[in-house]
Amino acid sequence: MRLFLSAGILYNVHMFQKIAFIGLGLIGGSLARAAREKFPSVWISAKTASSKTLAYAYDNGIIQGTPGSLAELVGDADLIILATPIELITAYVKQIYPLTKPGAIIIDTASTKQQIVTELKKYSDKFIGCHPMFGSEKTGIANSSAALLHGTRVAFTPYKNTPRGKLLAVMQFFKRLGCRPCKLGAKEHDAAVASISHIPYFGAVALLQLADDATKAALASTGFQSCTRVAESDPLWGVEVARSNRKEVLRHLKKLQRELSWIEQLIGRGDYKGLKEYLEFSRQIRRGIYR
């Protein structure tokens, strides 16, 4: 077992005996299922916006506790996971911070980090920005699954003064859940997810607007299906992303248009040699990522 000493406390992956969730949708639900699977002795409790979700989680053995108040929920929790919509994160951290014990770790699951991390700077002894990068075009706890975590990235955006033992323990914890944790700066994170997650989504959405007629629909095949799969995501997620990562999304939307305009220019002037090089270069970028 790996132990991490921090401020006189020994942290390790088995220290998370009590885990509290606020929010149990697709992300929270999947994390809870995975934690239960890998650490059967863990006690998981939760608070959710809908009582139906909470009942489902309890009835399906995903959680054991359904405390009445926030204080009861987080008071003796070792790890608190905020898996609510993005706009609720900062308020919840501020609210629960004084209710938690000193050794507690609070993480969120929001897909953009800069705004949240900046706003929560003074809670850095307990709060660590976290973005588990899995998902599905489906939503809700009924679609959650531990299998969704398999091999996916979990990005941490710690502060300079984040207790090192806490960071290492929580990263180790996610590793045990089958994920590939990594850490990076919040600004760097937001630029990266704009280009590899948010812009591909808006690109897919834009592509679909070009397919709005019966003939096109009839001819659309598996290639188009694959290109546009992410457009099945909840539009509310798209709005959240646009709002919380506005600057990077706008910057990368412009970049994508510039690339498309470049392709248009190459074809327009019949530079098929240049086009072939460009297409080949993109293929090499992809092979660098996925092979």
Residues within window 142-201 making contact with its own copies, judged by CB under 8 A:
152-153, 155, 182, 184, 188-189, 192-193, 195-197, 199-201
What's the closest the beta carbon of residue 233 comes to its own copies, in angstroms? Answer: 8
Among 135, 158, 163, 165, binds its own copies (CB under 8 A): 135
Among 41, 51, 161, 215, binds its own copies (CB under 8 A): 215
**Joined tokens for residue 198:** 């948010």
What's the closest the beta carbon of residue 174 comes to its own copies, in angstroms? Answer: 14
What's the closest the beta carbon of residue 135 comes to its own copies, in angstroms? Answer: 7
Contacting range for its own copies; rule: CB under 8 A; set: 38-46, 76-84, 88-96, 233-241: 233-241
Q: Which one, of 185, 137, 191, 182, lies nearest residue 159 by Cα?
A: 185
Comparison of 64 and 145: residue with beta carbon closer to its own copies: 145
What's the closest the beta carbon of residue 166 comes to its own copies, in angstroms? Answer: 22
Distance CA 86, CA 83 (A): 8
Q: At what angle do helices 246-268 and 199-209 cross, to 10 degrees?
A: 50
What's the closest the beta carbon of residue 9 comes to its own copies, in angstroms? Answer: 30
Buried/exposed code over 229-243 (b: 16+ C-beta within 10 A; e: otherwise): ebbebeeebbebbbe
- With tokens 């995975």, the residue in question is 34
Whole-Å CA distances, 222 to 215, 217, 290: 16, 12, 20
Among 84, 139, 228, 244, binds its own copies (CB under 8 A): 228
Long-range pairs of 214-223 with CB within 8 A, sequence gap ≥ 24: none
Among 80, 204, 244, 248, binds its own copies (CB under 8 A): 204
Count CB neighbours of 113 within 10 A. Answer: 25
Comparison of 15 and 110: residue with beta carbon closer to its own copies: 110
What's the closest the beta carbon of residue 243 comes to its own copies, in angstroms? Answer: 6
What's the closest the beta carbon of residue 104 comes to its own copies, in angstroms? Answer: 27
Whole-Å CA distances, 5 to 42, 62, 155: 22, 31, 22
- Binding status of residue 10 toward its own copies by CB under 8 A: no
Distance CA 113, CA 192 (A): 11
Comparison of 122 and 216: residue with beta carbon closer to its own copies: 216
Contacting range for its own copies; rule: CB under 8 A; set: 27-35, 88-96, 158-166, 231-239: 231-239
Among 100, 224, 244, 248, binds its own copies (CB under 8 A): 224
Distance of CA 97 to the CA centre of its chain: 22
* Window 72 to 131, contacts with its own copies (CB under 8 A): none
**Joined tokens for residue 263:** 């392709």
Buried/exposed code over 131-144 (b: 16+ C-beta within 10 A; e: otherwise): bbbbbeeebbbeeb
* Window 238 to 267, contacts with its own copies (CB under 8 A): 238-239, 242-243, 246, 249-250, 252-257, 259-261, 263-264, 267
Among 100, 202, 244, 248, binds its own copies (CB under 8 A): 202
Pair type for strands 43-47 and 79-82: unpaired
